[in-house]
Structure 1
Amino acid sequence: MKIVTTTTPTESELNDIYQIHQDVFGDIHRFTDKLIQKSHLVFTLSIENEKVVGYKIGYPLDDKRFYSWMGAVAPEARNRGIATKLMSTQHNWAQSQGYQSIDTKTMNRWRQMLLLNIRHGFDVKAVTVDEHGVEKILLRKQLYQ
């Protein structure tokens, strides 16, 4: 397995990301619409046998804060530490680029991601309710230079 960070994933890598997202979240059209709207995306990919098996996507909020927006691991590749490796790589990349903190959001229903974030140094900063009445948990991790 190799982990790569890129701002220009290949078409094949994007297709793998879409498939993983569909398998995990089931809302591919909303995801692709949002993906098109975002700028300065940074993709951290876990690749095995030339196929993406996990991803994290983020973007800068400003010069000091990076936002870890979306991530998932293919169901068949879970429980092998891939999410942790993706997170660590994304955080190391962000720190090397001069970011001082990483923000992310999750929901109680994604407990594995919530626990992973807390285990890796994130603090809960706020809980908000979106326009659909869904609670979102804002987390932040300080990156030390």
Structure 2
Amino acid sequence: MPLTVREGSLDEVIALYSAIPELVQPYSKERYEEQFRESMRSLVLIAYDNDRPVGFKLGYERSADGSFYSWMGGVAQSHRQAGAAGLLLQFMEDWCRDKGYESLRFKTRNTHVAMLRFALKNGFQIIGFEPAATVDQHRIWLEKPL
């Protein structure tokens, strides 16, 4: 059965933590809920292989400037290169267009080279930079017009 994406739950996101090694200090469910309470609109997406969660993407309305913020996401190592990240992104883009957003934004760390490549390949442009204590932790802001 092919991979599918649909809206899901924070419990499913948390259950995926152990399969995504980049999440070295994952947030608690309460932290996610707090962030979502502070925003006008939020979205929890889960990628499934049959009925088994294999990836996620979270986002929320961060400001009233017409953009939607893709906060975080990840795909289980077992399902990388299978298209899950692309399906999650496409679902989020379609959802954002349907809700009237004009662009999709996110930031990533300099150390996440695969994420940077993925973003650039999928039409995102670098729009900003936040220095950090070490070069690998510098934050890079990206945006894609919808």
| The two structures share one fold, judged by TM-score above 0.5 | yes
Contact 2:4/2:87 (CA < 8 Å) preserved in 1? Answer: no
Q: SS in structure 2 opposite 1:4? A: strand
Q: Which of 27, 33, 36 is residue 33 of structure 2 equivalent to?
A: 36
Q: CA deviation at 1:51?
A: 1.7
Q: Which runs of 5+ in 2 are unaligned?
A: none
**Contact map agreement 2:42 2:60 (CA 8 A) in 1:** yes
The number of residues matched between the two structures is: 135
TM-score with structure 1 length normalisation?
0.83
Matches of 2:90 and 2:57, distance apart in 1: 11
**TM-score for both structures, normalised by structure 2:** 0.82
Q: Deviations over 1:62-117 (max 9, x none)?
A: 26110000000011111101101111111111011100011100012111111111
Q: Which residue of 1 aligns with 2:17?
A: 21
Residue 93 (structure 2) aligned to one of 84, 91, 109? 91
Give 1:22 shift.
3.8
Q: What does residue 71 of structure 2 align with?
A: 69
CA-based RMSD: 1.9
Which residue does the alignment assign to 2:50? 49
% identical equivalent positions: 26
SS at match of 1:79: coil
